[in-house]
A and B are shown apart, each in its own frame.
Chain A
Amino acid sequence: MELSIAVADDHLPKLVGLLAPWFSVRAQVGIDLKTFVCEQLGVHEVYFEERIQTIFLDSKPVDDVATALVHDGSVLALSAAMPGLVGATFRKGGQYSWMRKAISHGGDEKSDQAAHGWVTVKLFNMVLKELGPGFLEQGVWIDGGRVQAFINSQPQVFRQHIQVLPLEGLPVSPDEFLGQDLSDTSIFIKVRTFAE
């Protein structure tokens, strides 16, 4: 199922909660993490290098983004620098990284079997705030029940600012959308903005 949500541009940041705790993308896999994030997810290289300081691939902290490969079914989490000694240990290539060596990502053998696959993406803290709107605009896959729950949790005054539209069809109100049974249904969502 594919959906478009139109929202007044001022309110786009409020929709990033849709992306928590995770969303899925279908993209080329079998490639290294940096290429995946920058080329497949469209994250600017400078942002990736400087802002994204903490990366987990399948729950393993990553230090070398050139040797960690993203596979079909991978779970990728991206975060800014974290506080605390333990937070610091998780930084990519940080000087405390040895403190969590037992769980670190050890790198993969290079593969020439690039193909398309599903990847679960988690954005945390400042990264969610800063990259979230872009992901919403380019489109992501989210569980339908979670989308409904998110819209349901928003105050009525905010709901007035959004429209839910099938990609090729007539607009439906948020209430009509919420009336459908979408639990366990993956929905491709794309958010469009309009000036109010």
Chain B
Amino acid sequence: MDKILRVKMGEEGGPKTVVEALGEYAGLGGRAMTSTIVSKEVPPLCHPLGEDNKLVIAPGMLSGSVAAMSGRISVGCKSPLTGGIKEANSGGQPSQVLARLGYAAIVIEGQPADDNLYKILINKDGVEITTDNSLKMLGNYAVIDKVKEAYGDKVCAISIGPAGEMKMSAASIAFTDMEQRPTRHAGRGGVGAVMGSKGVKLIVLDDEGMSKRQPADPDKFREANKAWVQGLKKHPVTGEGLPAYGTNVLTNVVNEAGGYPTNNFSTGQFDGASKLSGETQAELETSRGGLATHGCHKGCVIQCSGIFNDKDGNFLTKQPEYETIWAHGGNCGIDDLDTVAQLDRMDDDFGLDTIEMGVAIGVAMEAGLAKFGDAQAAINLLKEVGEGTPLGRILGNGAAVTGQVFGVERVPVVKKQSMPAYDPRAVQGIGVTYATTTMGADHTAGYSVTANLLGVGGNVDGTKPEGQVELSKNLQIATAAIDSTGMCLFIAFAILDQPETFQALLDIISGFSGQPLTADDVSNLGMAVLKAERDFNARAGFTAKDDRLPEYFKKEPLAPHNVTFQVSDEDLDKVFDF
């Protein structure tokens, strides 16, 4: 990973590519790479769908090596949904393949003068850009069928569906999985719309003839990776709970706690939660010949995904995540896993963020466009998005736009990005992160390891309001660092509970780079990423007033606990005091 590929779409005579040395971006990966490039190179006041925005795709620092769990890829740009900086990341195969091809980032910039759709092929021989208008308005699954036909079953792909071509703010970018299906998505913030605005429909990656990235200190790396895998496998969450039930293991628990946003965040418990639960889902999947335990990329040892077959035993979609099942399920009053799986398949095919779409449909239901619990109506609304009807274009631009168009007050967004599946009134600490993260409401922004473990900010007393703020800050720092390594965030659980597993992670990175690494170095990296992101957002016009939850969270008590969000604005403003 010693070079950056720049794809200049607006050049005279058609798109051109330039391969550059890493220069000032040396040593960066994943989110650190995308956010640094966007912060330095994108004018913060530019139109997100205009020629000055850039789309950056970067594998993690460890991607392409044999380090377990290192297959996450980051996508960065100015977000058409939030208007601020965006990093959305994904699993799938492309991170490993792009890294093995030697690229630390692809930067797509400018805009073509024509309406053609472009396809980019990257292999050991170089880069080729061609027009391919046969791909126009194809769903991601049909695009991948064409990829298989043209390039075989060994390559992987990055693509957008019709939503990206229509430049919808909920549009995602799809990454193919181990089975060459477009089931993994950089979902949040409308990154697919930015790819669509560049006229790029498809990137095909072929690493034939390339080898795995080699560590600088093979012995140290090998030993650390072994300890790392052992640590992940022995932990009850990463070694048992996630493999058995996936992230959807959370449905029953969050619902029991009264923090499961139901019917567009109007109450905290859903009567049909058990029918949507991970336990029910695993049983259903295995009974139909699918899988309840499966990885999203090679080298994953947690295996939190699965295969969801339809009633006839045919593949329908990958195992939908907890957030997807919540968004299209309980948030819309729907308790049928088959409906949710169908909506997930449609989202993947159209190229849409499942959280944004589920929340937008929930807002539409509140507006009276359909009744909560009406599964067929939800499917019909999503079809409108795929077809690009006027109503579909409203929904496809997210919950904030939908709420504005239909005059709904209860719109659960921060910085116009939809909240995920945890009500911040029940779990107030997550509300601090929703409010203050640079990304808009994001459950993964403050997901990772403890402050004390990373040695950031000293010991935190969480019983005091300032403790909530301090810990949210530290969690966001740690998450930004993990997002830069290419590691899946789910490693956080093993790191949290097992100091020796955290040390193994440090040793993997150190063994790979050949440089010593301490917890302080990791936290400094995380802080640098957040500073770059905050700086971009400030220059884009964001102020403290944007770091707030919608007003109704402070006014409407959430059943069953009848609690409101209590963290003061003054405390929220202390999160980023570094």
User: What distance in Å separates the Cβ of B481 from its nearest Cβ neighbour in chain A?
Assistant: 15
State which residues 247-263 of B face A: CB under 8 Å: 247, 249-250, 252-254, 256-259
- Residue A144 at the B interface, CB < 8 A? no
**B462 and A96: CB pair below 8 A?**
yes
Contacts of B236 in A (CB 8 A): 51, 53, 80-81, 126
**B468 and A103: CB pair below 8 A?**
no
Given A79-B253, A90-B257, verify A84-B447 contact (CB < 8 Å): yes
- Partner of B493 from the list A81, A124, A128 (CB cut-off 8 Å) is A81
- Residue A185 at the B interface, CB < 8 A? no
**A85 and B443: CB pair below 8 A?**
yes
- Residue B467 at the A interface, CB < 8 A? yes
Contacts of B425 in A (CB 8 A): 102
- Residue B187 at the A interface, CB < 8 A? no
B464 to chain A: closest residue by CB: A98
- Residue B1 at the A interface, CB < 8 A? no
**B253 and A102: CB pair below 8 A?**
no
Contacts of A98 in B (CB 8 A): 429, 462-463, 467-468
- Residue A116 at the B interface, CB < 8 A? no
State which residues 116-139 of A face B: CB under 8 Å: 122, 124-126, 128-129
Q: How far is the CA of A77 from the CA of B322 in the complex (A)?
A: 20
- Residue B299 at the A interface, CB < 8 A? no
**B279 and A124: CB pair below 8 A?**
yes
A54 to chain B: closest residue by CB: B253
Contacts of B463 in A (CB 8 A): 98, 101
B251 to chain A: closest residue by CB: A124
User: What distance in Å separates the Cβ of B434 from its nearest Cβ neighbour in chain A?
Assistant: 11
- Residue A179 at the B interface, CB < 8 A? no
**B426 and A102: CB pair below 8 A?**
yes
Given A20-B280, A88-B493, verify A95-B252 contact (CB < 8 Å): no
Contacts of B492 in A (CB 8 A): 85
**B462 and A86: CB pair below 8 A?**
no
Q: How far is the CA of A51 from the CA of B236 in the complex (A)?
A: 9
**B257 and A125: CB pair below 8 A?**
no
- Partner of A20 from the list B241, B274, B322, B467 (CB cut-off 8 Å) is B274
Q: How far is the CA of A60 from the CA of B561 in the complex (A)?
A: 8
**B258 and A82: CB pair below 8 A?**
no
**B256 and A87: CB pair below 8 A?**
no
Contacts of A96 in B (CB 8 A): 429, 462, 471
- Partner of B253 from the list A85, A90, A103 (CB cut-off 8 Å) is A90
**A125 and B279: CB pair below 8 A?**
yes
**A59 and B244: CB pair below 8 A?**
no
**A81 and B241: CB pair below 8 A?**
yes
Q: How far is the CA of A30 from the CA of B278 in the complex (A)?
A: 33
What is the 8 Å Cβ interface bit string for chain A, positions 129-165, against chain B (1 contact, 0 not)?
A: 1000000000000000000000000010000000000
- Residue B496 at the A interface, CB < 8 A? yes
Contacts of B258 in A (CB 8 A): 59, 103
Contacts of A60 in B (CB 8 A): 561
Contacts of B452 in A (CB 8 A): 95
**B561 and A59: CB pair below 8 A?**
yes
- Residue B82 at the A interface, CB < 8 A? no
State which residues 409-431 of B face A: CB under 8 Å: 422, 425-430
B453 to chain A: closest residue by CB: A95
- Residue A21 at the B interface, CB < 8 A? yes
What is the 8 Å Cβ interface bit string for chain B, positions 234-249, against chain A (1 contact, 0 not)?
A: 0011101110110101
- Residue B450 at the A interface, CB < 8 A? yes
- Residue B499 at the A interface, CB < 8 A? no
Q: How far is the CA of A70 from the CA of B110 in the complex (A)?
A: 65
User: What distance in Å separates the Cβ of A145 from its nearest Cβ neighbour in chain B?
Assistant: 15
Contacts of B254 in A (CB 8 A): 86-87
Most chain B CB neighbours (cut-off 10 Å) among A51, A61, A125: A125
Q: How far is the CA of A178 from the CA of B283 in the complex (A)?
A: 22
Contacts of B277 in A (CB 8 A): 20, 124
**A86 and B428: CB pair below 8 A?**
no
Contacts of A87 in B (CB 8 A): 237, 250, 253-254
**B428 and A102: CB pair below 8 A?**
yes
Contacts of A125 in B (CB 8 A): 241, 244-245, 249, 252-253, 278-279
**B279 and A99: CB pair below 8 A?**
no
**A99 and B247: CB pair below 8 A?**
no
Given A21-B274, A102-B428, A125-B252, verify A85-B475 contact (CB < 8 Å): yes
**A56 and B257: CB pair below 8 A?**
yes
Given A102-B428, A128-B279, verify A82-B249 contact (CB < 8 Å): yes
Contacts of B448 in A (CB 8 A): 85
- Residue A17 at the B interface, CB < 8 A? yes
Contacts of A122 in B (CB 8 A): 252, 256
**A59 and B269: CB pair below 8 A?**
yes
Contacts of B244 in A (CB 8 A): 125-126, 129
- Partner of A99 from the list B241, B249, B283, B468 (CB cut-off 8 Å) is B468
Q: How far is the CA of A21 from the CA of B462 in the complex (A)?
A: 33
- Residue A89 at the B interface, CB < 8 A? yes
- Partner of A59 from the list B256, B287, B467 (CB cut-off 8 Å) is B256
**B429 and A83: CB pair below 8 A?**
no
- Residue A100 at the B interface, CB < 8 A? yes
**B250 and A84: CB pair below 8 A?**
yes
**A84 and B247: CB pair below 8 A?**
yes
The 9 closest A-B pairs by CB, nearest first: A99-B429, A98-B462, A21-B274, A103-B561, A86-B422, A124-B252, A102-B563, A100-B427, A77-B256
What 12 additional pairs, Cβ within 8 angstroms, besides A87-B254, A126-B240? Answer: A21-B273, A56-B253, A79-B252, A80-B240, A82-B237, A82-B253, A83-B490, A85-B446, A86-B254, A97-B462, A124-B256, A125-B278
> 19 A–B contact pairs at CB < 8 A?
A20-B274, A56-B257, A79-B253, A80-B237, A82-B237, A83-B247, A83-B490, A85-B475, A86-B443, A87-B237, A88-B496, A96-B471, A100-B427, A102-B563, A102-B566, A124-B249, A125-B241, A125-B278, A126-B240
